[in-house]
Structure 1
């Protein structure tokens, strides 16, 4: 990469953020798999599949975008450019919130 070597603290913080995106991806994947194997009586089957697909899709997006985001931030740090905004953060926040609200409603209606 071109530019100057940034302060190691910034490089390490960027690396921790990268690893956190990967951890988030793993957690989303585990949540999707957990919903997919919930017993039949808990959720309507198509809703269970939909919730699982949303979580696993968010997991794939998180994992796929983690390294490019790390690379863009590292490049900006080296060049002294402004850092790129976290464009996908709202997608993850709203996606997980939507799954949680739908699951909560289904749990309440099912009782």
Structure 2
């Protein structure tokens, strides 16, 4: 038992693994898969932003450049936000507390809506 607690103290991040007790592995692994899905989404946003720029969609107009920049900036911020979300959920699982509300879906939907409108404006102008 003492060995298990010592190992938990050495795991990173301590503010997550140093709390509560070990949850069912299935829940922790599902949380990790969700985190990895956000990472894949970030890579896709990066690819979309680069593709907009490289392929010159909208002939490098201001809306096209803004959409590309918005997608790339979002792809940089998203992994950090996903890490924070993963930690919040993992802490809740370990403390047997209610899961926190999703915090990434709303802002991501807004970014995608704005980027789509900018691409549409670039193509139609």
TM-score between both structures, scaled by the size of structure 2? 0.77
Kindly state the Cα deviation for residue 44 of structure 1 after the two structures are TM-superposed.
4.8
Alignment equivalent of 1:47, drawn from 57, 63, 75: 63
Task: Note if 1:11 corresponds to 2:28.
Answer: yes
- Whole-Å separation in 2 of the counterparts to 1:82 and 1:12: 18
> What residue number does 1:95 align with?
111
How many angstroms does 1:81 deviate by?
A: 1.1
Give CA deviations for 1:83-108 in whole Å, capped at 9, x if unaligned: 1112231110121122123323433x
Q: Flag as ranges the 4+ runs of structure 1 deviating above 2 A.
A: 42-45, 104-107
Structure 1 Cα separation of the partners of residues 59 and 116 of structure 2: 13
> Which runs of 5 or more residues in structure 2 are unaligned?
1-16
Structure whose alpha-carbon radius of gyration is higher: 2
Partner of 2:72: 56
- 2:45 is matched with which residue? 28
Query: 1:26 and 1:51 mapped to 2: Cα distance?
Result: 16
Q: Provide the aligned length of Structure 1 versus Structure 2.
A: 108
